[in-house]
Amino acid sequence: MKATPGFREIAQRARQDGLTDATRRLVRRLSTRIDVGALDFPLLDSDIADSTRLVRSPSEPVPQGSALTIAWVCTPPSPGSGGHTTLFRMVEAAERAGHRCVVFLYDRHGGDHERHRRVLRRFWPGVSAEVRDATLGIGGADAYVATSWESAHVIASRVRTATAMLYFIQDFEPYFHAKGTLYALAEDSYRFGFVNIALGELVACELADRGIDHAVVPFGCDTDVYRLDNPDRERSGVVYYTKPGSDRRGYLLGRLALEEFHRRHPEEPIHIYGDAVDDWRIPVVQHGRLSPSALNELYNSSKAGLAISFTNITLVAEEMLAAGAIPVVTEAPYARNVLPNPDVQWAATTPGALADGLGRAVGRGLSAAERTTMAHRVTRGWGATSRETVRLIEQAAWAPRNEDSRTRT
């Protein structure tokens, strides 16, 4: 075992590499020594399910056409979370259809449930559902909807009856992790025998490649908020959403691409929003976290932007299109199936290729008519997604159930 570095070694590192780098090395060694990574494990041991061991007892079917109590299990939301925003659209749709919804928040570390509830109420005021702590139990529903691989494990391990169980899958989440325990647990969640609802063709294709049954609902865009406000407006610069803690969003790749883009196009301002960062070596305009309306205003003033994702398409790609800005989107397997739009500037996942794509985008010099046409191509909102998701929940809950329900393996 390596010893923790002493003062002399730290001082030497600081002289050679700078204090910041030396501090990072020290923190990394200390975190490894005390296994800080264990804090990131998202489940209690008792909530880890196994698709080869799940057996459920019979339950009473819900009468056809009756109102349902639907339990939605998710992690606590953070302000601005796109995944939670899409999820809560489905909750609102179920409520409009006459069903009672309960949102169960699962915090494996036992955080302040009341604080989580206040965040949900403040930032998603359209959700009327009761909000409960999932760690205290999730019983009493006619249908359960998992919203991530962690919540799928929670439902599979805690609900022992053959109640309707569904899984609203917004991304192929094994790819969030290196191949290992978390990857395996995430992949196994698709084999719990739930009704798998794939958001968009990329997720559907990944499931199909593994022989996993699923239904598909369309990917959407909030066209009530993101729209072209002034096609004649003079535009400048590019925009980028920063999320350093999520490598699947390619923060470092985006930063390197924008540095190269700036060297070629110093006249174009670079706008970044999202998490605050201080390690940029080029001039940037930092906007921090923006409301949807303020973000739409920023898109309407920009020529183009980066939309980087190594998994499912990021929501910002179509939001930019709807506001008349050209998104430069990273190539990924099946990504074009999700976003078959002729105005997207596709690019390989290298800094140079992304910088090239931005250069082409800002150089197009679109007219007001061309921007209007581009914006009008974004026609799919979330209505069809919501309606089909609610229909699938109703179908699963109202359908006759087998007396002996065992998950598929």
Q: What is the pLDDT of residue 30?
A: 52
Same-domain check for residues 138 and 253: no
Task: Looking at the structure, tell me whether residues 52 and 178 fall in a common domain.
Answer: yes
Question: What is the reported pTM?
Answer: 0.85
Q: Is the pLDDT of residue 31 over 50?
A: no
Predicted confidence (pLDDT) per residue in 315-371, tens digit: 999 999 999 999 999 998 888 888 889 999 999 999 999 999 999 999 998 999 999
- The residue with greater pLDDT, 9 or 355, is 355
Q: Do 265 and 214 fall into the same domain?
A: no
Token pair 């990329």 in the structure block, residue: 202
**Total domains, the chain:** 2
In a domain, 25, yes or no: no
- In a domain, residue 7? The reply is no
**CA distances to 113, 149, 177, 183, 184 from 174, in Å:** 27, 8, 6, 5, 7
Range of the domain at 269: 238-379
Residues 56 and 201 in one domain: yes
**Is residue 50 classed exposed, middle or buried when 0-12, 13-18 and 19+ CB atoms within 10 A define those classes?**
middle
187 and 327: one domain? no
Cα separations in angstroms, 100 against 132, 139, 237? 14, 14, 46
User: Who contacts 178 (Cβ-Cβ below 8 Å, separation ≥6)?
Assistant: none
* Residue 133 and residue 52 share a domain: yes
- Whether 130 has a pLDDT exceeding 90, the answer reads yes
State how far Cα 334 lies from the chain centre: 17
Mean pLDDT, the chain, rounded, equals: 89
- Within a domain: residue 39? no
Q: Same structural domain for residues 170 and 108? A: yes
77 inside domain: yes
Out of 253-257, 330-334, 394-398, least confident range: 330-334
pLDDT at 97: 97
Q: Please tell me whether residues 168 and 206 are part of one structural domain.
A: yes
CATH at 149: 3.40.50.11090
Same domain, 340 and 372: yes
Q: Is 321 contained in some domain? A: yes
Write the Ramachandran bin of 231: left for phi over 0, alpha for psi from -120 to 50, otherwise beta: alpha
120: pLDDT strictly greater than 90: yes
**Residue 142 clears pLDDT 70, i.e. is over it:** yes
**Mean pLDDT calculated for residue range 63-82:** 93
Does the residue 76 lie in any domain? yes
Q: Is 179 contained in some domain? A: yes
Segment among 88-97, 198-207, 235-244, 275-284 with least mean pLDDT: 275-284
Q: According to the model, what pLDDT value does residue 6 have? A: 57
Q: Based on the domain organization, do 151 and 248 belong to the same domain?
A: no
On the question of pLDDT at 9 being above 80, the answer is no
What does the pLDDT read at residue 29?
A: 59
State the pLDDT confidence band at 244, using cuts at 50, 70 and 90.
Answer: confident
What is the per-residue pLDDT for 407? 37
CA dist 253 and 256 (Å) reads 5
Residue 202 sits in the same domain as residue 274:
no
**CATH number of the domain within which 356 lies:** 3.40.50.2000
Res 186 pLDDT > 90? yes
Residue matched to tokens 């299109």 = 321
The mean per-residue pLDDT over the stretch 102-121 comes to 95
> Element (H or E) spanning 271, and its range?
strand 270-274
Structure confidence by residue, pLDDT tens digits, 78-96: 988 889 999 999 999 999 9
Task: Write down the pLDDT at residue 54.
Answer: 93
Same domain, 249 and 297: yes
Question: Where residue 44 falls among pLDDT bands split at 50, 70, 90?
Answer: very high
Residue 126's Cβ-count burial label (10 Å; 0-12, 13-18, 19+) is exposed
Residue 254 contacts residue 285 (beta carbons within 8 Å): no
| Domain presence at residue 333 | yes
